[in-house]
Amino acid sequence: MGAKENKLGIRGSDTHSILFTDVKVPKENRIGADGFGFTFAMKTLAGGRIGIAAQALGIASGAYELALAYSKQRKAFGTEIMNHQIIQFKLADMATRIEAARLLCLKAAWEKDQHIDYTLSSSMAKVFASETAMWTTTEAVQVHGGYGFVKEYHVERLMRDAKITQIYEGTSEVQRIVISRSILK
């Protein structure tokens, strides 16, 4: 096992490289026929994308809830910041994007449960939910102002955690390739 990685986010989960040197696997221990590995990996990734989309949705929802609660407590210019239209619009946009991400996640999960090809829906859910998480956490930091940059308020951690959802199980760019290939068939 390689050294523990010092990551930007998701720091509660250790990440290590696994190293194989001079490993030989007997042919009788192989899983599947020749060429099976790629197909199996792609199907596994499609299912994993639903999980990453759900993770991103949870991160976005948590950041929204923190921003909403903070906006009801923090005062500026003689009133709670929730009374300022710019904060109201930020919260409205957060809630709208989160709900759209939730529906995409539910659709992809439903298609998987129904044994319908969910490649397209899982890619759409993953790209939208992960980008919603990154956008929402950035906005939550803004709502918190200077406190958003302070670890005590947790939105900075959510922002760091959101970034990886745009990367693993296929980057947002890869999801757009999957989506475009599917709709251009």
For the segment 2-29, the average pLDDT, to the nearest whole number, is: 89
Q: Is 169 a catalytic residue?
A: yes
Mean pLDDT of all residues in the chain?
A: 94
Q: pLDDT of 124-154, one tens digit each?
A: 999 999 999 999 999 999 999 999 999 888 9
- pTM, two decimal places: 0.90
pLDDT at 36: 80
Question: For residue 7, what pLDDT is reported?
Answer: 85
Q: Which of these is catalytic: 111, 139, 156, 169?
A: 169
Q: From 124, 84, 79, 78, select the one nearest 101 (Cα to Cα).
A: 124
Query: Which burial class, exposed, middle or buried, applies to 116 when counting CB atoms under 10 A from its CB (0-12, 13-18, 19+)?
Result: exposed
- In CATH terms, 45-183 corresponds, of 3.40.1160.10, 1.10.300.10, 3.30.300.30, 1.20.140.10, to 1.20.140.10
Greater model confidence, 37 or 99? 99
DSSP character string of 143-181? HHGGGGGSGGGSHHHHHHHHHHHTTTTS-HHHHHHHHHH
Joined tokens for residue 12: 């509660």
